């Protein structure tokens, strides 16, 4: 019920104070904070403690620190905040399934929203990722960049920063897996085909079709994943014989 007061670290108290001031609007976007020495005097603590606090705030995407320029409050950018989360773990397969499901659910909805809200600029950006992917096919690279960008553009087209941020974060977390999938024979070509169809659905504002296409898009990937994991098992079994 009550939190331990005395044991709270100085650096944590500083973090809290600064965050409170931001919420209260007393510190505003892009504002420059006093330098470390001055802060330490104002707070009445050592510079080391101030630094620890600032490191935390930086890792959270709240402030930005420039080498010899000082500390600034970040412009509010959800993407930055969300990208501050990473998943520094060996993602086990269960976690992968969860991630995958979450992404599928969100992105299908994203597609529907994009159909309603995408403007010409969004469509242009998406179109560009299609040509990018074609170039990847021609050049023979993984095409992951175009893939990620396509989905991000679609998410941006929802005009919902939160959703775009979450989708982006999930998408990049699964980057390694997506690279594997795209490397599956013939997948990249098929993927481009699917992206194109989704793009057209959004252009035509056909949200039902778009949702269906996305479902197919994801189930295609799921199939490849099972194929890949079976292959893997097969190989390892063969290796044991």
Partner DNA sequence: CGAAATCTGATTGTCTGACATATTGATAGA
Partner DNA sequence: TCTATCAATATGTCAGACAATCAGATTTCG
Distance of CA 222 to the CA centre of its chain: 20
The partner in contact with residue 152, picked from a second copy, DNA, none with C-beta cut-offs of 5 to 8 angstroms by kind, is none
107 forms part of the interface with a second copy (CB under 8 A): no
Q: Contact with DNA (CB under 7 A): which of 16, 31, 37, 233? A: 37
Three-class DSSP category at 4: coil
Residue 53: which of 66, 63, 68, 44 has the closest Cα?
A: 63
56 forms part of the interface with DNA (CB under 7 A): no
Furthest-apart CA atoms within the chain: distance in Å: 71
> Angle CA(91)–CA(163)–CA(71) in degrees, nearest 5?
85
71 forms part of the interface with a second copy (CB under 8 A): no
| Interatomic CA distance for residues 91 and 95, integer angstroms | 6
| Interatomic CA distance for residues 218 and 149, integer angstroms | 16
The partner in contact with residue 98, picked from DNA, a second copy, none with C-beta cut-offs of 5 to 8 angstroms by kind, is a second copy
Nearer to DNA by Cβ, of 68 and 240: the residue is: 68
Q: Contact with DNA (CB under 7 A): which of 20, 21, 31, 35? A: 35
229 forms part of the interface with DNA (CB under 7 A): no
Q: Which residues form the interface with DNA (CB under 7 A)? A: 6-7, 9-11, 35-37, 40, 44-49, 51, 65-71
């Amino acid at each position: 019920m009550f939190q331990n007061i005395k044991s709270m670290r100085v650096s944590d108290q500083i973090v809290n104070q600064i965050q409170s001031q931001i919420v209260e609007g007393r510190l505003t976007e892009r504002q420059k904070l006093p330098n470390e020495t001055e802060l330490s005097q104002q707070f009445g603590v050592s510079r080391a403690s101030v630094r620890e606090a600032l490191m935390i705030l930086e890792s959270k995407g709240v402030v930005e620190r420039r080498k010899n320029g000082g500390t600034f409050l970040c412009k509010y950018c959800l993407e930055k905040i969300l990208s501050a989360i990473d998943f520094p773990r060996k993602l086990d397969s269960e976690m992968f399934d969860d991630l995958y499901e979450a992404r599928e659910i969100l992105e299908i909805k994203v597609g529907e929203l994009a159909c309603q809200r995408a403007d010409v600029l969004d469509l242009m950006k998406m179109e560009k990722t299609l040509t990018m992917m074609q170039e990847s096919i021609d050049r023979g690279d993984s095409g992951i960049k175009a893939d990620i960008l396509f989905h991000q553009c679609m998410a941006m087209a929802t005009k919902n920063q939160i959703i775009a941020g979450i989708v982006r974060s999930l998408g990049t977390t699964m980057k390694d897996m997506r690279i594997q999938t795209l490397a599956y024979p013939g997948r990249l070509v098929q993927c481009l085909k699917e992206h194109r169809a989704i793009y057209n659905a959004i252009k035509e504002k056909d949200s039902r079709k778009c949702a269906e296409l996305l479902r197919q898009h994801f189930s295609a990937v799921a199939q490849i994943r099972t194929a890949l994991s079976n292959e893997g098992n097969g190989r390892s079994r063969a290796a044991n014989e």
